[in-house]
Structure 1
Amino acid sequence: VYMITMIGRSLYDSAHKELIGKKYIGSFCTNNSSYAEILSEQMQETEGTGYYFDESSGEWRIVAYAPIVWHNHIWSVATSVPASEVGALVHSVYRKQILFIAIVIAIILAGGGSIVLIFSRWNRELENEVEKTTENLKKSNTELESANTKLKELDRLKSEFVSMASHELKTPLTAIKLSMDVLRSLSGSEKDIRTKDELLEIVDRNIERQNRLVTDLLDISRIETGTLKFNLEPVDLYDIIRESVKSMKDIAERKGISIHSNLEGETLAITGDRDRLVQVFVNLIGNALKFTEKGEIRIQVQMVAGHPEIRVSDTGIGIPPEELDRIFDKFHQVDSGLTREAGGTGLGLAICRGIIKGHGGSIIAESEVGRGSTFVIVL
């Protein structure tokens, strides 16, 4: 290996270190030698190969050279080997190629069956890979369909939320505005005073309705995000049920519907959030009153496999079988004349389910159209 400058001076020579710093032409070879011709080609910054006679060793050599840029200067690097070694290498390559071809022919002639088996195995592997890829594509399609279904469901929920919020916000606001307009026109007579009290009651009732809407929206948002907090402590389940029934007693009496509680014993200690559990039972009793025109509401408690099971039953309109799986969905309401008349956000049962799940329990619905519904809670 050697390196020269563009004027033919040696920068490095692994075989002739004594030439480093000297010019090859004149020091190592004559001007009209075959090596001088190759050196001239190198000094012209060309790339190539050559065949020359080494005057110092008295043998023919093969050289390959190319220009390089190093330290902002152009140099020519070359490698040379004795031609005899190259010839021996070429002959060796030829011999090995002939041997390889002979072995390949022997393998083809003697191992045709093995090759067929190999190709057969490759074919099976390819079929398995195609089948696996097909299954993955089917799985991806299924996931895309599921994602599309969820997007459609989200769009439906958005539309239902906008419709519900518009109605539930507009209705009480309209009632409040009309009541306030009438209040402004009243005089101080005894009749007007009674009318004023009635209108103030309407305003108060509609303000409470809007307050429930905001509370429901906040609760369902916390349930969905997992941020609804529970103050779990030892509580009396019977006391919670009695408090819930008492809070709904006036509404039930106005509708002429009785509420019966079948409680075994005086107390039943559980661990739970008192206020949230009252919210659940008030919601269930309120729903039963909303969709029951006559009859009764019954609350039963019994122990099942060491857990309290609470059944809230009514004699109302009932729920169609195809709706039972959806009544706990947000904003979902069973389509009926009574539902449209009663109104509501469609969030109550979704909130009940979230609270019961937060207590590690479950809630399901059983119903028969025209005979009433039963909500079963296990804590």
Structure 2
Amino acid sequence: MLFNSRVVALILAIVVAGVTTAFLSLVPDVTVQSLLVAGLLSFAATYLLVFVTFEFLVFKEIGEIYKVLNKMRNKDFSFTESEEDASTSTNPLKRINREILTFGVNRNKEIEDLRKLEVFRREFLADVSHELKTPVFAAQGFVHTLLDGAVDDKKVRKRFLKRAAKSLDNLDSLIHDLLTLSQIETGEIKMHFEHFDIVVTAREVIDQLENKAEKKGLTIRMDTSYPDPIFVHADAIRIYRVLVNLVSNAIKYTDKGSIQVGFEVEDDMVQVFVRDTGVGIPPEDLDRIFERFFRVDKSRSKESGGTGLGLAIVKHVVEAHNANINVVSTVNEGSNFSFKLPIGQSTAEMEEEAKLELEMMSQDR
């Protein structure tokens, strides 16, 4: 550094000593010896004062700022903990140093987040393009086969048209799930909370998927009889979709045994669970099963169909209800998916509550 603390102190000391000596020389009867002593004293005092001030309060902190910038340039943030007390310092340069550090750390975090987002975007686009191509190519292959001559055979034509229709149905389901997931994430779909009997909802789901389970030789039922209704406060349509996705997923990954849907009332919450006796989920995959297009067993998913977005939708819908989806699974024994919803009120209870409120209002009048 061209101007360090010693150079600055020397220049200022010479200037101050010169000015002091010049003024003293204007005083009558001042001896040369007195001027010399005054000049030396002012030089020494100024040099020490300026040197100490600049060395420990200015140049040292500027040097620290320079070191911080160099470390930030090299993406080395290991020094952040040692700088924690800088924000309470009275030295303005230390505070500037801290601000530069904070700014650099925040910008670095933003850059890392953008990089992760870019990686995620590329993976997502690759997954979407792959998932879209599968049903499109399948339908395209069936149609071209028909055009190449198979259309003349009535049985072959019917079989190929059914397969093409199934591929297009899968494509429609994939696009619908993608749109649903995107709308939930962006907040375009709002949850419409209401009080409803979740036992009735679960039985409707079982009725809808019972035939699908029977084709695999599985039984799907409630874990016990529920003679009394269980009311929850949630979005009935979205919770119905959550149960459909969970039960469909259980059917897909269960080869023998049963799927059970049940509830446990805990204080002011209702725990909803879907339990199966399927293949289970390896421990290393438990943290990833709610990711888009992630499949534990890709070959099974390919045979059974599905968009690979069912559990991702489940996660987002449940989180929109300020809850978490939990899973406990053992390989070759089965899985248990569960989440909690706030307990609701029946129509009679709401009417009674409204009646009491009206009575209280009339008494206040």
Q: CA RMSD in A?
A: 3.7
Aligned residue type for 1:147: L
Tell me the TM-score normalised to structure 1 length. 0.63
Aligned residue type for 1:290: K
Give the whole-Å Cα distance in 1 for the aligned partners of 2:255 and 2:56: 76
Give the whole-Å Cα distance in 2 for the aligned partners of 1:244 and 1:98: 106
Aligned residue type for 1:295: G
Instruction: Give SS of 1:331's match.
Output: coil
> How far is 1:117 from its partner?
4.2
Change (3 A) 1:320 1:97: farther
Give the whole-Å Cα distance in 1 for the aligned partners of 2:133 and 2:37: 88
Instruction: Give SS of 1:292's match.
Output: coil
Aligned residue type for 1:328: F
Change (3 A) 1:197 1:154: closer
Give the whole-Å Cα distance in 2 for the aligned partners of 1:97 and 1:307: 93
Q: 1:171-186 maps to which residues of 2 (within 5 A)?
A: 171-172=138-139, 174-175=141-142, 184-186=151-153
Q: 1:89-108 maps to which residues of 2 (within 5 A)?
A: 95=23, 105-108=40-43
What residue is the counterpart of 2:89 in the other structure?
Answer: none
Tell me the TM-score normalised to structure 2 length. 0.65
Matched, 1:164 2:131: yes
Matched, 1:125 2:125: no
What residue is the counterpart of 1:151 in the other structure?
Answer: 118
Aligned residue type for 2:120: E
Aligned residue type for 1:148: R
Change (3 A) 1:152 1:166: same
Matched, 1:246 2:182: no
Give the whole-Å Cα distance in 1 for the aligned partners of 2:179 and 2:39: 79
Q: 1:27-106 maps to which residues of 2 (within 5 A)?
A: 95=23, 105-106=40-41
Query: Does structure 1 conserve the Cα–Cα contact (< 8 Å) formed by 2:135 and 2:167?
Result: no
> How far is 1:101 from its partner?
11
* Deviation readout 1:2-51 (Å, 9 max, x if unpaired): xxxxxxxxxxxxxxxxxxxxxxxxxxxxxxxxxxxxxxxxxxxxxxxxxx
> How far is 1:172 from its partner?
4.6
What residue is the counterpart of 2:358 in the other structure?
Answer: none
Higher-strand-fraction structure: 1
> How far is 1:282 from its partner?
0.9
Give the whole-Å Cα distance in 2 for the aligned partners of 1:181 and 1:229: 49
Give the whole-Å Cα distance in 2 for the aligned partners of 1:171 and 1:329: 25
Q: Which has the higher contact order (CA 8 A, sep 6+)?
A: 2
Query: Does structure 2 conserve the Cα–Cα contact (< 8 Å) formed by 1:176 and 1:202?
Result: no
Q: Would you say how many aligned residue pairs link Structure 1 and Structure 2? A: 283
Give the whole-Å Cα distance in 1 for the aligned partners of 2:199 and 2:59: 71
Query: Does structure 2 conserve the Cα–Cα contact (< 8 Å) formed by 1:173 and 1:206?
Result: no
Give the whole-Å Cα distance in 2 for the aligned partners of 1:101 and 1:247: 107
Give the whole-Å Cα distance in 1 for the aligned partners of 2:36 and 2:198: 91
Give the whole-Å Cα distance in 2 for the aligned partners of 1:97 and 1:293: 109
Choose which of 203, 218, 223 in structure 2 pairs with 1:262. Answer: 223
Matched, 1:311 2:244: no
What residue is the counterpart of 1:46 in the other structure?
Answer: none
Choose which of 146, 152, 172 in structure 2 pairs with 1:211. Answer: 172
What residue is the counterpart of 1:227 in the other structure?
Answer: 188
Aligned residue type for 1:243: E
Query: Does structure 1 conserve the Cα–Cα contact (< 8 Å) formed by 2:292 and 2:309?
Result: yes
Change (3 A) 1:121 1:185: same
Query: Does structure 2 conserve the Cα–Cα contact (< 8 Å) formed by 1:176 and 1:206?
Result: no
Aligned residue type for 2:296: V
Change (3 A) 1:301 1:106: same
Change (3 A) 1:231 1:200: farther
> How far is 1:340 from its partner?
3.4
Aligned residue type for 1:247: Q
Aligned residue type for 2:198: L
> How far is 1:276 from its partner?
1.9
What residue is the counterpart of 2:312 in the other structure?
Answer: 350
* Deviation readout 1:139-161 (Å, 9 max, x if unpaired): 54444233222211211111111
